[in-house]
Amino acid sequence: MEHLRAVNDMVVRFANVNGTGSASANNMFAKSIFRMGIPVAPKNIFPSNIQGLPTWYEVRVSEKGYLGRRDGIDLMVCVNPQSLAQDVASVQPGGYFVYDNTKKLHPEFVRDDIHYIGIPMTEMCNHHFSEPRQRQLFKNVVYVGALAALLDIEWDVLTGIIRDQFKKAEKLIAPNIKALELGRQYIHDHFAYPLGIRVERRDLVGDSVLIDGNTAAGLGALYGGATVAAWYPITPSTSVVNAFEKYAHQLRTDPETGRRKFAIIQAEDELAAMGMVMGATWNGARAFTATSGPGVSLMSEFLGLAYFAEIPVVLVNVQRGGPSTGMPTRTQQADLLLAAYASHGDTRQVLLFPSSPKECFDHTAAAFDLADRLQTPIIVMTDLDLGMNDHLSPPFHWDDLRAYDRGKVLDAEALESIQQFGRYLDTDGDGICYRTLPGTHPTKGSFFTRGTSKDEYARYTEDGAAYTRNVDRLMKKWETTKKYLPPPELFQESNQHAQGLLFFGTTAYPALESMDLMQAEGIGFDAIRLTAFPFNETVEAFIRDHEQVFVIEQNRDGQMRSLLINELGVNPQKLVSVLNYDGKPISANVIKNQIVGRFQAVS
Amino acid sequence: MTYIKPKFRHPDMPTNQIGYSKSDYEGAISTLCGGCGHDSISAAIVQACYEMSVEPHRLAKLSGIGCSSKTPTYFLSNSHGFNSVHGRMPSIATGASLANRELIYLGVSGDGDSASIGMGQFVHVIRRNVNMVYIVMNNGCYGLTKGQNSATADVNAASKSGSANLYPTIDLVGLALELGATFVARSFSGDKTQLVPLIKAAMAHPGFAFIDVVSPCVTFNNKPTSTKSYDYVREHQEATSSIDFVPSRDEIVIDYREGDSTVVELHDGSALHLHKLAPHWDPRDRASAVNRLLTAKAKGEVLTGLLYIDPGSQDMHELEQTVLQPLNTLQEKDLCPGAEALGKIMGGFR
């Protein structure tokens, strides 16, 4: 029988029951390879459930640094009888199937083209541990110990992770190492090792970190100066606020008085969460919320008010599968049109598209400056894959000299020096007007914030000319906005090809990998990664200068393609959709197959 | 349209302790119907702010949507105003209060705005004890959309179109008491003597101060049979007590007869003097307030005045343990942990 063979290039999948404590063991596995200097890309595939349903954890190991999902499982660790049939079927021919053989495997699950490695995990744990919870938890550690032998993971690295993890609970170190040892010893005694697939130390990760996008966004909000977080729990965005809370407690609590330089309010719903954010920013604090598609639907009412009354807002939208409740624990990029035009009437919203945890941090921190500068909502569009999975990322940096850009806010002194204050007067000609905060000056600068039509002095009016002046100025501001947004990333100094790839967010990793795959087959592309909406001149030029542009995205309807056509007036024939919307992160093979298929169809 | 009032001022016009005359607390000319109860409430707000010597710019006025929510234009033109969306003023006020704990927040809402579309936010702003005054101008109907019944309309009340209200009336005061509001009052737009001291006390109260003000809609719901009409309330108003608000800086000059009055001291040193107390009622006892309210309702009477106050009220900022300095004044040095801390955090992810 064939044996898969590879060094530092594999996909390992763990099949667990959720609620059994497998996450920390699986993380330990991914981290050990990362600490051996090899790029890894772990992904959680989990149910919308607390306990008892199947959950998977998948780790791609890639010496070439490919961080997108790859199809095909090389090694499966299955400790969940519920998903056994599916798990056996998903292993590639020549691959490996590690399972708990305390109970004998039913013959129907025995394939003749994969290798079985049975370890009596339950029996071993029952024998060596007495507490029921430990017996369950350590089964997970036992298989990590077995993998250490099977894949050649450095022992000191694994035990080092356990020591770091239990720094504050030292008595747990010894039993964890014992469980690892049990797994390793069982392999030593019963199997040939290492396998045909294995890992080998490299120096490929430099000073990178392994971190999830939601933690990064929460930290970005802290560094960006947010003092108010108002939110409503929703998967997959909850951990954004959790991270903000954790670090704010550590770093923003007055050590003497115990008082907090922040407030976190769990609102009654997403409507109220957005209202609290707007009340706070209207009153001069930096505030944010995090949510997912269903929350954005509810917040749309307030997003329209924020657009029209020109109130800063920072919203992190961690997208999941829609429509409606959709697939709450699966990933998509399907809120693009909803977010771009959130709310009734002629409304348009500024979007950012981070592609890595570092960008989640940078974009979220920058969003507070942008919101204050542009006096409008800034929606950071991440997704479940980026938000809830650990990603290899460059470390985040902060320049201590960086000052917050609080935008055009008049203080008492400035108000003294002007004749008459008009909240919606375009004094500078860039469409951005000056605002004042409540409580600034006894007689100058007060105005009425409202969602109705108004004149330059914020007075209610139903005069059509005044209304038109106002909404036209908002379009002028929209043009100004482009100057402030992060520029798109081009992957070539000058265009080389007639065809281009266009992608954004988490689609970037597999898109870049697919370019390598297609290059190997002699098909070359130029490429652009979008980072923001409204689109700037570079995006327009990229599309103009290519005969055909493949727009790669994770939704059914090609929403980014629609947005490009709608905003740039592009000939629809020019833009070809490459789509994946089954809830799994898009892979390089999917992209390649769709594009190559298209070429074959044409020729 | 908003009409700006001409600023004529008699040189001898009296001023308050900070040198402002009453006209400094006024707003634009009202565009509501002549005789609307809401205008009387606006006038009471002006009077209360004048008497309290509030710096107009240190107060922010917030509202939702509806006739009542238009009124902030008609008072305190030197205050910032926020006319938000329908039923969502409480969340805006909550956020505003979080950003700057030093201003006075005056929220104005209506029965449609609070008892229907905004019920969720109304309930939760009470629960959070946001430090604000929350006035509901309650007329039992939707005025701006021409006279539909609201959720506070009487059972069997006929709307402008003639259809009768089939459903029970929501009593916002009873609800506020049940939810643990720390200051609950009801008044009548036509009773300025009672309303002005209530607004003053509400402003001094450190927490959520709720005043439900029956405010007749002269155009759509002023039939004598309506419990929200001028005639009905005048005939059936029963007050828990008469009330004087004594700010902390004022000397108490009135002598009260012992036995029929009580003094409630507020957090900031000011005091409420309540006289001619209703029997079987103690303003600091929530259960007695609920009982009193239900008894009055059973008799078809509109119980007004201060119903309940918790002098030990702790507002949202105290519960959240925020710093005393307003959050909106914190700077980079207070907020940003800096590069070194970030470096350490990054170390934890390797």
Q: Beta strand A532-533 with A350-352: parallel, antiparallel or unpaired?
A: antiparallel
Residue A329 structure tokens: 């624990």
The answer on A272 and A383 residing in a single domain is yes
Alpha-carbon distance A67 to nearest alpha carbon in chain B (angstroms): 17
Residue A249 touches partner B, C-beta closer than 8 Å? no
Residue B113: which of B91, B148, B88 has the closest Cα?
B88
Alpha-carbon distance B130 to nearest alpha carbon in chain A (angstroms): 12
Q: How many CB atoms lie within 10 A of CB A513?
A: 23
The shortest CB-CB distance from B95 to any of A230, A262, A441 is to A230
Q: How many CB atoms lie within 10 A of CB B10?
A: 8
Among A276, A303, A372, the residue to mutate for chain B (most B Cβ within 10 A): A276
CA A602: distance to chain centroid? 35
B88–A227 CB contact, under 8 Å: no
Q: Is residue A1 in a domain?
A: no
**Cross-strand bridge partners of residue A12:** A59, A75
Is the CB of residue A531 less than 8 Å from the CB of residue A486? Answer: yes
Burial class (CB in 10 A: 0-12, 13-18, 19+), B94: buried
The answer on A226 and A104 residing in a single domain is no
Q: Residue ranges of the domains in chain B?
A: 22-332
Residues of B in contact with A343 (CB under 8 A): none
The answer on A534 and A505 residing in a single domain is yes
Q: Which residue is it, tokens 């643990």?
A: B180
Amino acid identity for residue B313 in this structure: S
Residues of B in contact with A259 (CB under 8 A): 321-324
Q: Note the pLDDT of residue B4.
A: 61
Which residues 6+ apart lie within 8 Å of B349 measured at CB?
A209, A210, A211
The answer on A227 and A171 residing in a single domain is no
In angstroms, rounded to a whole number, what is the distance separating the alpha carbons of residues B4 and B14? 22
The shortest CB-CB distance from A398 to any of B92, B327, B338 is to B338
Residue A349: which of A320, A394, A306, A392 has the closest Cα?
A306
Q: Is residue A399 in a domain?
A: no
DSSP-derived letter for residue A585 is P
A365, A393, A421 — which closes off a domain?
A: A393
Is the CB of residue A369 less than 8 Å from the CB of residue A224? Answer: yes
Q: Helix, strand, coil: what percent of chain B each, to 5?
A: 35, 20, 45
Whether this model's pTM surpasses 0.80: yes
A268–B79 CB contact, under 8 Å: no
Q: Is residue A77 in a domain?
A: yes
The answer on A226 and A86 residing in a single domain is no
Q: Is residue A228 in a domain?
A: yes
Is the CB of residue B183 less than 8 Å from the CB of residue B210? Answer: yes
The answer on A493 and A473 residing in a single domain is no
Residues of B in contact with A302 (CB under 8 A): 85, 88
For chain B, residues with pLDDT lower than 70 are: 1-8, 249-260
Which chain B residue has the Cα nearest residue A31? B350
In angstroms, rounded to a whole number, what is the distance separating the alpha carbons of residues A121 and A588? 35
- Tell whether omega for the bond before B72 is within 30 degrees of 0, i.e. cis: no
Buried b (16+ CB within 10 A) or exposed e, A100-124: beeeebeeebeeeebbebbbbbbeb
Residues of B in contact with A258 (CB under 8 A): 321
Residue A78 touches partner B, C-beta closer than 8 Å? no
**Cross-strand bridge partners of residue A78:** A15, A99
Residue A403 touches partner B, C-beta closer than 8 Å? yes
Q: Note the pLDDT of residue A129.
A: 95
What superfamily does domain B22-332 belong to in CATH? Thiamin diphosphate (ThDP)-binding fold, Pyr/PP domains (3.40.50.970)
The answer on A474 and A508 residing in a single domain is no
pLDDT tens figures, B219-273 = 999 988 899 999 999 999 988 888 888 877 555 444 445 456 788 887 778 888 8
A447–B83 CB contact, under 8 Å: no
Residues of A in contact with B62 (CB under 8 A): 279
The answer on A184 and A254 residing in a single domain is no
The answer on A324 and A340 residing in a single domain is yes
The shortest CB-CB distance from A228 to any of B99, B321, B350 is to B99
Residues of A in contact with B100 (CB under 8 A): 283-285, 438-439
Residues of A in contact with B82 (CB under 8 A): 279, 282, 448-450
Is the CB of residue B313 less than 8 Å from the CB of residue B267? Answer: yes
Q: Is residue A405 in a domain?
A: no
Burial class (CB in 10 A: 0-12, 13-18, 19+), A172: middle
Q: Note the pLDDT of residue B260.
A: 66
Q: Note the pLDDT of residue B8.
A: 67
A464, A484, A504 — which closes off a domain?
A: A484
Range of the domain at A592: 489-602
A400–B338 CB contact, under 8 Å: yes
Q: Is residue A398 in a domain?
A: no
Residue A251 touches partner B, C-beta closer than 8 Å? yes
pLDDT tens figures, B112-144 = 999 999 999 999 999 999 999 999 999 999 999
Q: In what order do the strands lie in the sheet with A448-450?
A: A448-450, B80-83, B59-63, B104-110, B132-138, B208-214, B183-188, B302-309, B237-239
Q: Is residue A84 in a domain?
A: yes
- The CATH number given to whatever domain includes residue A68 is 3.40.920.10
Q: What is the mean pLDDT of each run of 10 residues along chain A (603 residues)?
A: 94 93 94 98 90 93 97 96 95 97 94 97 96 93 98 98 94 96 98 97 98 98 98 97 98 97 98 98 98 98 98 98 96 98 98 98 98 98 98 98 98 95 97 98 96 96 97 98 98 97 98 97 96 98 98 98 98 97 96 92 68
Domain tally, chain A: 4
A171, A198, A225 — which closes off a domain?
A: A198
The answer on A465 and A370 residing in a single domain is no
Separation in Å, CA A288 to CA A292, A434, B124: 14, 22, 19
Among B102, B105, B319, B323, the residue to mutate for chain A (most A Cβ within 10 A): B323
Separation in Å, CA A2 to CA A13, A150, A197: 20, 17, 12
Amino acid identity for residue B164 in this structure: A
Is the CB of residue A45 less than 8 Å from the CB of residue A57? Answer: yes
Q: Note the pLDDT of residue A493.
A: 96
The answer on A448 and A387 residing in a single domain is no
Q: Is residue A205 in a domain?
A: no
Is the CB of residue A260 less than 8 Å from the CB of residue A302? Answer: no
The answer on A22 and A74 residing in a single domain is yes
DSSP-derived letter for residue B171 is -
